[in-house]
Amino acid sequence: MTVRVRDLDVELGGRPVLSAVSLTVPAGSWTAVIGPNGTGKSTLLRAVLGLVPSRGGVTVAGADLGALKPRERARIVAYAPQSPSLPAGMTVFDYTLLGRSPYIPHLGREGARDRAVAADVLGRLDLAGLAGRPLEHLSGGERQRVVLARALAQQTSVLLLDEPTTSLDIGHQQQVLELVDQLRLADGLTVVTTIHDLTLAGQYADDLVLLSGGRVAAAGPPAGVLTRAAVAEHFGARVRVEPGPDGRPVLSPERP
Ligand SMILES: Nc1ncnc2c1ncn2[C@@H]1O[C@H](COP(=O)(O)OP(=O)(O)OP(=O)(O)O)[C@@H](O)[C@H]1O
Ligand SMILES: [Mg+2]
């Protein structure tokens, strides 16, 4: 399903946060939204979901998600927020099962298939051993993977992941991004992630959108967006940028 954002403006607290943002994420492709802290990346994902008021056009497969009931929207788009609040007293398995809610009839209970999907996702994310653990007993990275598990259990066509790798060790970063990419290739998922690791962004995404000051400063394939000059201008960082073995840019921080 293609995600289209056209001329999006968002104001929060009376202040413009996003201005004239346009982007198209073709069905089955992966776009990473990058940019410095506070530039509006999370706000952009929330606007796509219709969770914050916006002006302009946002459509997923031609439909306005904000106009759908939450249950209908949750069958199309799964969203893993950057800092979710997790309910206390719930186990990892039951929390993952919440991802199946859009498919469970009102007043009904989950079925064997819902439990099988939840168990499969937990297994793929290395979380099977934690299935019975209460959420409040998890480490930061485990919590983050559980939030992703819930989103994947929704089995939607579109995934919006807000900083899915931030608290993860390098092995789990690769595991999560590879899993998302496998799902994208196997099921044609459309993926939009925000991500601070620019090398990882360039390794996995088809296109990058660099937001700066709430506007699109650059967009397109990674090699064109991740330049030394752009990273210096928009992040205030000194990096060396070299093509990796696959031609995608690899950034190395340099001390001034
Ligand atoms: N509810 C709100 N009311 C007022 N301002 C808000 C609100 N939510 C976010 N903002 C502001 O909007 C701007 C964009 O926030 P957003 O969370 O989208 O940034 P971000 O690019 O995701 O940053 P980060 O890299 O730190 O995650 C920030 O300046 C933030 O302080
Ligand atoms: Mg954010």
* Cβ contacts of 23 within 8 Å, gap of 6 or more: 3, 4, 5, 31, 209, 216, 219
Inter-residue contact 91 to 115 (CB < 8 Å): no
From the CA of 38, the nearest ligand is 1
Ligand 1 atom closest to the CA of 36, numbered from 1: 25
Do residues 141 and 30 both lie within one domain?
Answer: no
- Each residue of 15-73: pLDDT tens digit? 999 999 999 999 999 999 999 999 999 999 999 998 999 999 899 988 888 788 889 99
Whole-number Å distance, alpha carbon 40 to ligand 2 midpoint, is 7
Q: Which of 219, 229, 227 is nearest to 192 (CA)?
A: 219
Q: DSSP H helical segments within 85-204, as ranges? A: 92-97, 112-124, 140-153, 170-187, 198-204
Whole-number Å distance, alpha carbon 23 to ligand 1 midpoint, is 19
Asked whether residue 249 is assigned to any structural domain, the reply reads no
Do residues 111 and 131 both lie within one domain?
Answer: yes
Stretch 155-184: mean pLDDT: 94
Last residue of a domain, one of 101, 123, 154: 154
Residue 63: per-residue pLDDT: 87
Do residues 91 and 115 both lie within one domain?
Answer: yes
- Residue of 10, 42, 44 to test ligand 1 pocket, by largest number of atoms within 8 Å of CB: 42
Do residues 143 and 191 both lie within one domain?
Answer: no
Do residues 208 and 162 both lie within one domain?
Answer: yes
DSSP bridge pairs for 248: none
Do residues 71 and 174 both lie within one domain?
Answer: yes
- Each residue of 102-116: pLDDT tens digit? 999 888 899 999 999
Pairing of strands 158-162, 190-194: parallel
Asked whether residue 160 is assigned to any structural domain, the reply reads yes
Q: What is the pTM of this model?
A: 0.95
Asked whether residue 227 is assigned to any structural domain, the reply reads no
At 35, the amino acid letter reads G
Q: Is the pLDDT of residue 84 over 90?
A: no
Pairing of strands 77-80, 158-162: parallel
Do residues 69 and 96 both lie within one domain?
Answer: no
Backbone angles phi, psi at 89, to 5 degrees: 80, 5
Do residues 116 and 211 both lie within one domain?
Answer: no
Do residues 12 and 57 both lie within one domain?
Answer: yes
- Each residue of 230-244: pLDDT tens digit? 999 999 999 999 999
CATH number of the domain residue 217 falls in: 3.40.50.300
pLDDT band at 248 (very low <50, low <70, confident <90, very high): very high
Stretch 205-228: mean pLDDT: 98
- Residue of 8, 11, 12, 51 to test ligand 1 pocket, by largest number of atoms within 8 Å of CB: 12
Whole-number Å distance, alpha carbon 55 to ligand 1 midpoint, is 17
- In this structure, the residues whose C-beta lies within 6 A of any atom of ligand 1 are 12-13, 17, 35, 37-43, 82
Asked whether residue 230 is assigned to any structural domain, the reply reads no
Whole-number Å distance, alpha carbon 208 to ligand 1 midpoint, is 20
Counting the structural domains of the chain, the total is 2
Q: Is the pLDDT of residue 151 over 90?
A: yes
CA atoms of 204 and 222, how far apart (whole Å): 9
Query: Virtual CA dihedral for 139, 179, 231, 38, nearest 10 degrees?
Result: -50
Q: DSSP H helical segments within the chain, as ranges? A: 41-49, 70-76, 92-97, 112-124, 140-153, 170-187, 198-204, 222-225, 228-235
Do residues 134 and 169 both lie within one domain?
Answer: no
Do residues 45 and 163 both lie within one domain?
Answer: yes
Range of the structural domain that residue 118 is part of = 86-154
Asked whether residue 228 is assigned to any structural domain, the reply reads no
Do residues 125 and 9 both lie within one domain?
Answer: no
- Each residue of 171-212: pLDDT tens digit? 999 999 999 999 999 989 999 999 999 999 999 999 999 999
Last residue of a domain, one of 127, 154, 181: 154
Last residue of a domain, one of 134, 154, 174: 154
